[in-house]
C-alpha cells in the first residue's frame, strides 16, 4: 500500500497481529528501501510530496496510525491513550483494502484528503479522522465498524447503510464543506448511542424510528425543521439553533439516576411535551414561540417531578407565565433550580 506524504519526515505506526513475525519494509517510489519496522522514522531533509510504499504480510496488519489523540471527541467507545500519536503529514493513502484484517485506521489531523476507500474491511472497528481533509468515505463491507469519527473533515455526503447494524458512535460534525447529506437509510441504526452532526446544514437526517438506541443526539445548528425526531433512549438532546416547531419526549428520561439534558434554544417551538421526563436536570427552551399555556404546562410538569435540578430556561420570545406558572417557578427555585422566564 502507498502513502502520499508531504512533510520532511514520515513516522507512521503499524500494529501487527499478536504472534506475527512479519517484516515491514518501507520503500520510496523507485523501490529503494527507506526503513524497516513497525515504527519507522524516515527523514527526507525537506518537505515535498512523495510516495512511500509499505510492504509486509498485509493480512497481519491490525492498526495503521497516522495520528490520534484519545482526548478528541471522547466517548464510550474511544480508543485508549496507548494509541496517542502526533499527526503525520499525509495527503493520501492507497490500497488500504489490502489490509483484510485491519481493525483500526487512525489519521486525525493528518491532512488526509480525497476518498477513503475501506471497501471490504470486514474486521474494521475504529476509523479516527478527526480534523483531517477527507472528502468521501466508502464503507461498503465494513461489517464490524463501531466508531466512526470524521469530524471537521470535508465531506459533502455519507452513506452509512453498510454500517447501520453495528455502528455505535458517529462523529461527523462541522464539515469544512458546510453541509452533509446522508444517503436514505434502509434500516435503523440498531446500536448507535451517539449521533453528532452539529454546526452544518444536514440533509437526510435520520427519523426517530431510525434511532432506537440513541442516547445522545447532538445536532445543533443543522437547519432542521418541523417535528424533532426523538431518539429512542434519550439522555442528552442538544438541538439548539434549528427551526423545529414541536417535540414530544413523553416516556424519555425516566431513569432518575442518569441526569438528562435538553437544549432546544432558538428554535420555533409552539409545542413541547416532557411528560414524565423526571431525570431531566438541564432544560433550555429559550427563544422559541411557546404560548402562555405551553409555558405554564412545562413549569407545572417540572415542578410536579419533585426533583432537584440545575437549570430551566424558558425565556426570550416565549410568552410570560401566568400566576399559576409563577407559583411553579417559586417551587422550583426553592428546590435549587435556576429558572428564567419571560417578563414584561
Region of 335 on the Ramachandran plot (φ > 0 left; ψ -120 to 50 alpha; else beta):
alpha
Candidates 212, 175, 169, 218; CA nearest to 194 is 169
- What domains are there in the chain, each with its CATH number? 1-214 (3.80.10), 224-344 (no CATH)
Number of other CB atoms surrounding residue 68 within 10 Å: 29
SS (H, E, C) 41-82: CEECCCCCCEEEEEECCHHHEEEEECCECCCCCCCCCCCCHH
Residue 184 CA: distances (Å) to CA of 181, 208, 241, 319: 9, 14, 24, 38
What is the residue whose three cell numbers read 483494502? 97
Instruction: Say if residues 107 and 93 touch (Cβ distance below 8 Å).
Output: yes
11 CA to centre of own chain: 28
For residue range 290-342, list pLDDT tens digits in order.
999 999 999 999 999 999 989 999 999 999 999 999 999 999 999 999 999 99
Whether the model clears a pTM of 0.85, i.e. scores above it, the answer is yes
For residue range 231-282, list pLDDT tens digits in order.
999 999 999 999 999 999 999 999 999 999 999 999 999 999 999 999 999 9
137: three-class secondary structure by DSSP: strand
For residue range 140-199, list pLDDT tens digits in order.
999 999 999 999 999 999 999 999 999 999 999 999 999 999 999 999 999 999 999 999
The three three-digit cell numbers of residue 116, written as one number: 477513503
Instruction: Say if residues 1 and 99 touch (Cβ distance below 8 Å).
Output: yes
CA distance 78 to 222: 25
Hey, CA dihedral for 180, 84, 94, 5, is it positive or negative?
positive
For residue range 23-65, list pLDDT tens digits in order.
999 999 999 999 999 999 999 999 999 999 999 999 999 999 9
The three three-digit cell numbers of residue 66, written as one number: 497516522
Burial of 69 (0-12, 13-18, 19+ CB in 10 A): buried
Amino acid at each position: 500500500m502507498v502513502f502520499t506524504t508531504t512533510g520532511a519526515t514520515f513516522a507512521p505506526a503499524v500494529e501487527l497481529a499478536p504472534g506475527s513475525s512479519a517484516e515491514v519494509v518501507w520503500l520510496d517510489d523507485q523501490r529503494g528501501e527507506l526503513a524497516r519496522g513497525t515504527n519507522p522514522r524516515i527523514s527526507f531533509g525537506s518537505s515535498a510530496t512523495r510516495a512511500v510504499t509499505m510492504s509486509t504480510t498485509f493480512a497481519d496488519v491490525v492498526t495503521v496510525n497516522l495520528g490520534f489523540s484519545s482526548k478528541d471527541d471522547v466517548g464510550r467507545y474511544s480508543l485508549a491513550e496507548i494509541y496517542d500519536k502526533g499527526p503525520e503529514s499525509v495527503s493520501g493513502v492507497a490500497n488500504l483494502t489490502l489490509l483484510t484484517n485491519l481493525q483500526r485506521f487512525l489519521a486525525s489531523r493528518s491532512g488526509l484528503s480525497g476518498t477513503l476507500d475501506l471497501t471490504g474491511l470486514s474486521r474494521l472497528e475504529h476509523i479516527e479522522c478527526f480534523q483531517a481533509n477527507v472528502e468521501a468515505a466508502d464503507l461498503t463491507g465494513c461489517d464490524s465498524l463501531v466508531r466512526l469519527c470524521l469530524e471537521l473533515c470535508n465531506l459533502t455526503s455519507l452513506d452509512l447503510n453498510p454500517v447501520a447494524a453495528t455502528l455505535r458512535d458517529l462523529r461527523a460534525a462541522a464539515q469544512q464543506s458546510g453541509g452533509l447529506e446522508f444517503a436514505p437509510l434502509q434500516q435503523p441504526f440498531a446500536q448507535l448511542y451517539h449521533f453528532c452532526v452539529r454546526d452544518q446544514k444536514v440533509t437526510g437526517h435520520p427519523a426517530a424510528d431510525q434511532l432506537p438506541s440513541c442516547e445522545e443526539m447532538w445536532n445543533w445548528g443543522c437547519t432542521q425543521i418541523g417535528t424533532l425526531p426523538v431518539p429512542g433512549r434519550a439522555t442528552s438532546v442538544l438541538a439548539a439553533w434549528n427551526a423545529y416547531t414541536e417535540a414530544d419526549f413523553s416516556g424519555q428520561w425516566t431513569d432518575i439516576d442518569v441526569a438528562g439534558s435538553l437544549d432546544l434554544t432558538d428554535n420555533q417551538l409552539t409545542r413541547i411535551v416532557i411528560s414524565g421526563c423526571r431525570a431531566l436536570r438541564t432544560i433550555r427552551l429559550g427563544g422559541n414561540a411557546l404560548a402562555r399555556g405551553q409555558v405554564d404546562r412545562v413549569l407545572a410538569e417540572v415542578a410536579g417531578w419533585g426533583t432537584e435540578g440545575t437549570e430551566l430556561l424558558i425565556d426570550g420570545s416565549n410568552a410570560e407565565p401566568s400566576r399559576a406558572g409563577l407559583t411553579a417557578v417559586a417551587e422550583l427555585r426553592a428546590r435549587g433550580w435556576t429558572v428564567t422566564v419571560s417578563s414584561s
